[in-house]
A and B are shown apart, each in its own frame.
Chain A
Amino acid sequence: MKGVIGLPLEHDSAQMHVQGSAQYIDDISVPSGTLHVAFALSNVAHGRIKSIDVSAAKKAEGVHSVLIAEDIENLMIGPIIHDEPLLASKEVLFYGQAIAAVLAESHELAKKAALLVTADVEELKSIVSIEDAMESKSFIDEPIIVSTGDSKKAIQNAKNVLTGSLSIGGQEHYYLEGQVAISIPTESNEMVVHSSTQNPTEVQHLVAHVLGVPQNAIEVVTRRMGGGFGGKETDSSQLACICAIFSEKTKKPVKARLSRKDDILLTGKRHDFEANYEVGYSDDGLIEGITMDLSARCGYSLDLSKAIVSRALFHSDNAYFIPNATFTGYLCKTNTASNTAFRGFGGPQGMLAIENIVEEISNTLGIDPLQVRRTNFYQKDTNNVTPYDQVIEDNIIEEITDELIDTSNYHSRRKEIDKFNKENKFLKKGLAFSPVKFGISFTTQLLNQAGALVSIYKDGSIYLNHGGTEMGQGLFVKVAQVVANEFSVDISRVKVSATSTAKVPNTSPTAASSGSDLNGMAAREACLRIKSNLIDFAKEYFGVSESSIKFEDSKLVAGKKQIPFNEFIMLAYLNRVELFSNGFYKTPKIHFDLDKQKGRPFFYYSYGACVSEVIVDCLTGEYKLLGVDILHDVGASINPAIDTGQIVGGYIQGMGWLCSEELKWSDSGVLLTTGASTYKIPAIGDTPEHFEVKIKPNISNHENTIHKSKAVGEPPLMLAISTWLSIKNAIYNADKENISGLNAPASFEQVFFSLNKTF
């Protein structure tokens, strides 16, 4: 049998997905008597709570009870520090914050009753925008500075200086399955919690914390999520904790699922950023020095903002060697929901900022931006140290660029576009290339660890469990491939199972693109331990040397003896061989000094590049994406079907972020875009007709990762920066004096005003 590594196997749940039989938490048959939760939400962004009146809600049809902050003993939760109340206490800090939780006989009755809760709130001045926060010095933590060389001096000495600013919008996750949890009390003080979360361990630990019970009393189970994208890394905890508190009080199962609107109001989004920059550069466009401030809207609490802003700074170089750089990240505290992880985790914002700069330098000099990008690329042996002192050892950006420029016919298309633009008055085309270099590892070092549990039953079927969660990214099938490969059995023999805190403890969130890297290695380690037991047994039982024992083609080969895998497993069982094992992995080589912001935060980098072509209507600001060509590096792919899916889907999600997805708040902090009718994620027609996606072939990870593969979850999202740049290029092509001013997202309206600065 051919090995299963590198095969384009279907998603482990694909057959169930298409039949509607894949079970999500809302589909679980709940025991009769299950009660349901709905939140009453604040209708101001900032205010002092004088009183909350729940009397009408309590009297409403089917209502069991109502909780407010005062009723909860351990009120505060949070992923890094506990600065988030489960329900607003004394003060409301953002529009849509939960002020009360209603428990009723059905979801509908709970929702109806929640609308009857009223609060007397003295409204206070709210800080909504980044600008407001910067002005009033409203920060959630100290600024973070990543710096190298002397940027000030370099800019002073440079022949040319560019100054400017860029505003970068946030992004709602819009996972199709909203946040949902079910808590089921079992016995004593124990509880099983089903949570749609990327982070079962954190949910477990926070539920234990709010209930005041040891962590071993709580089991959190997650079979699959209907999408996560970072939005279920920390934002799942509140719902699970509230369910658990109600379950503890009532001794009944409790379920909560958020309506789309409540989900969008209550949970955090991708951080919006403001970038302000000053850059010194040569006549060739070589960047000599840069200072850039990146201010992020963090919302009312810390959440993961520090690591997110950090990652933004770590990606403000993207693929470019900048000898003198000072990147400063400000963590703005605002009266908005607490912004959180979202695919790319700050990286996309940092990368967009530098790509915008390179484009503006090119346009100012009148040089093709591709050339300026090449001029600034990191080199292999020199000019290969990042501003945070990591030496780049695996740089393949030039190779990727060369290949993609060639296959996408960049140069001939550039000429065709110039011709088109000369011939057309109201329609203008734009073309852009952009590279991606994305650092892989959690920048919080301790998170780079994982565990797995592999069990083989007497019939030879294998049960696989690990700390990673499945949110659609295909992690489970990839890790199953790793396991099937170790025993040389068919993938159908490996059963992937729900993530459970009772099977593998203290897991890290499935995030930072690390799922396969970490859990694949841990699962492999578990397999190796079982194999070692089996080999020892076979050696003795068959009287052969270790070197003549092989797992091959669903069989055990011991010298001349061949025995089917399942029979061999039964034999091993009968001879009292341990047929299960855990496995553990921690990422080597990484280290980081937080005080100095120097070190090696990343085990390796993933690379990619994209060419986009767009056509813009100058009379309306509308545009259409005409073509996208992608070449992306996933090392030696474990599953090219899954990896291609991540690249295509990541790209389109990034395109949504930079094009049509626009979050809007009123001046007083009311989030106005709370549903799919006002917040427009890409629809099917937004997928470009010409869409060439290629995994870079014949390549493997420079580092020793699982089967030499690379992480793929986040990096492709940033390929979409080329699309935003192509719009910027079309605007520039319409008027060569028009170089700055386009922000993100490039809504039609924004493009219209960029094109028509005067009337």
Chain B
Amino acid sequence: MSILLNQSFIPYELGEINPNTTVLEWLRSNRLVGTKEGCASGDCGACTAVIGELVTVNKKDVIQYKSINTCIALAYTLLGKHLITVEGLKEGDDLHPVQKAMVTENGSQCGFCTPGFVMSLFAMYHNEKVIDLTKINDALSGNLCRCTGYKPIISAAYLALSEKEKGSQDFYERHQAKFVESLVKLRNEKDVSLSYAKDQKTLLFDAPSNIHKLSQLLSDNPSANILAAGTDLNLEITQSMKEFPHIVSVNRVTELKQIVDNGSEIEIGAAVSYEEAKSILVKHWPNLNSFLQRFASLPIKNWATIGGNIANASPIGDMAPVLIALESKLKLRKGDSSRVIALEDFFISYKKTLLESSEFIESILIPKPSSDDQLITHKISKRYEDDISAVCMAVNVKSDKSKPCSVKIGMGGMSGIPQRAIELEKALLDNWNSEELKSVAYEALSKEFSPFTDVRASSEYRLRVSAGLAQKTSLIMQGYSVEDLAHYSEH
């Protein structure tokens, strides 16, 4: 039960730990205290570390580095991966180029968020060849700094990459082969089944390697908690001080990690992360590129899964409205039997879904678009980066001879569930080139939704801004270029 840790090629045995232990807790209790706790909920990035995972590129094993929030990742979910923390960057007395750049550009003041920034920069340093402001903002979207105003950190990102261009290789690049070799050995550990004795209780952790074992486990243990990334579930551990007696992790299940092109549809395994799904999604729906930028911070997108996002049934999980608009279906599985249902029917009421006991999401089926289909997405939040929607609107327009013939709309933040906006669909289809659209849309929305007032927005703003978004949509449908200020730049 091992991981690789920092600059050592020899696997590190995690030993017997409570399965509810987060990576951050584990690091800090092992005196690796460079990684900090800022919020314990994946919102600030002070705890950012990098994991290396084996991926196959051109039939060759290579290591891919991802920034993650260690405060909401469980230690056992790192089995077989390479964990790199801020302590693992320096070589002898020499700082890593990203560390040097942060010093040179005065990128730290109080220093508490700095290790997190350094690790996000480290991941960017490994993943990018050429960078621009958009890439820097994406790479650092999950790191909050309260002192510097970010300007020097942006400069540090440019400086570090310019050092890389000069051809220097860091420790991990130079020793990639050895790390690959060590990770290949760890990959051979298949099904993980651990127990931890605590007082009179035994806490269990299972991470099966295939879908049959997974469905068997869940049938045998209907009360077990299914864990994908845990970017939401693990908040119950860190915020509500809960302890899960039996965790079944899906992140080693091969079938659930696959993306398959079925010809007419794309099938995305439920445990595929957002970053993993990004390239195929963007290939078919280029507009999703900018949408996914705002979807969540990079460490969350690196870790969180589409299946987890849907099963969690958050009324504001931004992917569900998009997938509803795209008329996606879910493949659910229980034991040996599976069923396929429309995503829009999956959500029943707040946090309630069609999932039965022992049933789980196997994959998401998304019909491929035809050439003149248009996907238009909008997100309203209090901040452009790393924020939960007040309102999310996804509009899938199908056209016939450049006239819209069908409109499907998915909305988030407007009720207790991600929901199709049928009235608005009608209003938009009938009035897409009318001056009256905004007021018609408002009426349609008011008929269908009674949104709540909360810290993110008032009910009235949700309704009225949605009408405004409908108008923006209609302008796009009419062929006007419409700015999304979140991505607006004059440079």
Contact = CB atoms under 8 A, between A and B. Distances in A.
Q: Bound pair: A and B? A: yes
Interface of A: 8, 10-11, 13-24, 26-27, 29, 61, 108, 111-112, 115, 173-178, 224-229, 259-261, 427, 471-474, 615-617, 619-624, 626, 641-642, 644-645, 648-653, 660, 662, 664, 672-673, 675-678, 680-687, 689-691, 693, 747-749, 752-753, 756, 759
Interface string B37-49: 1111101101000
A224 B109 CA distance: 11
B385 A749 contact: no
A345 B95 CA distance: 39
A61 B199 contact: yes
B112 A176 contact: yes
Given A19-B95, A620-B469, 12 more contacts: A20-B114, A24-B112, A27-B33, A176-B44, A224-B110, A472-B108, A626-B490, A645-B148, A675-B41, A678-B455, A689-B133, A689-B489
Q: How large is the interface on B (under 10, 10 to 19, 20 to 34, 35 or more residues)?
A: 35 or more
B33 A621 contact: no
B152 interface: yes
16 contacts: A14-B102, A14-B108, A17-B114, A24-B36, A174-B144, A177-B36, A226-B113, A617-B485, A624-B486, A645-B109, A651-B149, A652-B151, A686-B383, A687-B151, A749-B457, A749-B461
Contact of A678 (B145, B241, B456, B485): B456
Interface of B: 31, 33-41, 43-44, 46, 85-87, 89-90, 95, 99-100, 102-104, 106-115, 118, 133, 136-137, 140-141, 143-154, 199, 239, 241, 380, 382-388, 390, 439, 442, 454-458, 461, 464-465, 468-469, 471-472, 483, 485-486, 488-491
A624 B110 contact: no
A675 B42 CA distance: 11
A176 B36 contact: yes
Contacts of A680: 382-383, 387
A693 B36 CA distance: 31
Contacts of A672: 454-455
Contacts of A675: 39, 41, 43
A226 B141 contact: no
B241 to A, nearest CB: 5
Nearest to A8: B106
A409 B472 CA distance: 33
Contacts of B385: 683-686
A685 B137 contact: yes
Nearest to B139: A684
Contacts of B107: 18
Contacts of B148: 645, 648-649, 652
A748 B458 CA distance: 12
A201 B113 CA distance: 27
A352 B46 CA distance: 32
Contact of A16 (B111, B137, B141, B469): B111
A60 to B, nearest CB: 11
B465 A473 contact: no
Contacts of A21: 34, 87
A743 to B, nearest CB: 14
Contact of B151 (A17, A176, A648): A648
Contacts of B110: 175-177, 224-228, 471-472
B468 A676 contact: no
A16 B109 CA distance: 11
A670 to B, nearest CB: 11
Nearest to A687: B150
Contact of A18 (B35, B99, B469): B99
A683 B461 contact: no
A748 B382 contact: yes
A37 to B, nearest CB: 15
A475 to B, nearest CB: 11
B200 to A, nearest CB: 11
Contacts of A23: 33
A74 to B, nearest CB: 31
A681 B146 contact: yes
A11 B137 contact: no
Contacts of B115: 17-18, 20
B137 A19 contact: no
Contact of B106 (A10, A626, A749): A10
Given A18-B114, A620-B465, A684-B141, A748 B380 contact: yes
A228 B146 CA distance: 10
Given A619-B472, A677-B43, A176 B461 contact: no
Contacts of B489: 689
A749 B381 CA distance: 9
Contacts of B455: 662, 664, 672-673, 678
B102 to A, nearest CB: 5
A622 B380 contact: yes
Contacts of B390: 749
The listed residue with most B CB atoms (<10 A of its CB), out of A174, A622, A650, is A622
Nearest to B25: A108
B99 A19 contact: yes
Nearest to A111: B241
B197 to A, nearest CB: 14
A456 to B, nearest CB: 27
Contact of A260 (B39, B140, B146): B39
Contacts of A617: 483, 485
A753 B460 CA distance: 10
Contacts of B95: 15, 18-19
Contacts of A621: 461, 465
Contacts of B154: 684, 687
A20 B383 CA distance: 29
A752 B465 CA distance: 8
Contacts of B114: 17-18, 20
B491 A689 contact: yes
A752 B464 contact: yes
A474 B49 CA distance: 26
A682 B457 CA distance: 18
A260 B41 contact: yes
Nearest to A226: B112
A346 B141 CA distance: 31
The listed residue with most A CB atoms (<10 A of its CB), out of B39, B109, B113, B390, is B109
A11 B146 contact: no
B113 A176 contact: yes
Contacts of A620: 380, 465, 468-469, 472
Contacts of A226: 36, 110-113
The listed residue with most A CB atoms (<10 A of its CB), out of B35, B146, B388, is B146
A642 B152 CA distance: 11
B438 to A, nearest CB: 8
A539 to B, nearest CB: 42
Contacts of A649: 109, 146-149
Given A15-B95, A260-B40, A686-B383, A648 B241 contact: no
Contacts of B468: 619-620, 752
Contacts of A652: 148-151
Contacts of B491: 689-690
A176 B95 CA distance: 24
A688 to B, nearest CB: 9
